[in-house]
Amino acid sequence: MLEGRTSARLPLLPHLPAEDLFTGSASGAMAAYLWAEGLIDNPVFVAEQAYGMNRPGQADVQVVGPQDAIEGVNLGGSGYVLMSGKLKI
């Protein structure tokens, strides 16, 4: 970790890449858990992911609400569109 308070990983199924480079789902859930359990003293911090893959990512995280009544988690940072498409149903 370089600047972050946390580091997360999201391993994927064997036929996919080894893990997700950065996932708000993992970091957001982790942030809510850490705040609710009193394991962090500030609900605003930097989360990091994928340094072990040499594809580092960071997000600014803010858990909204008191520890006993979390209302949500805000995540923000820069992104890169790798692929796009349309789905017809």
* Residue-level pLDDT, tens digit, the chain, 89 residues: 456 667 776 777 777 766 666 778 888 898 999 999 999 999 999 888 877 777 778 889 999 999 999 999 999 988 777 789 998 99
Q: What is the pLDDT of residue 2?
A: 53
Task: Kindly list the domain boundaries of the chain, sorted by start residue.
Answer: 6-76
Q: What is the pLDDT of residue 72?
A: 96
Q: Which CATH number fits domain 6-76: 3.40.50.720, 3.40.50.10470, 3.10.310.10, 1.10.238.10?
A: 3.10.310.10
Instruction: Spell out the residues 6+ positions from residue 89 whose beta carbon is closer than 8 angstroms to its own.
Output: none
Q: What is the pLDDT of residue 44?
A: 94
Q: What is the pLDDT of residue 1?
A: 45
Structure tokens at 67: 């520890």
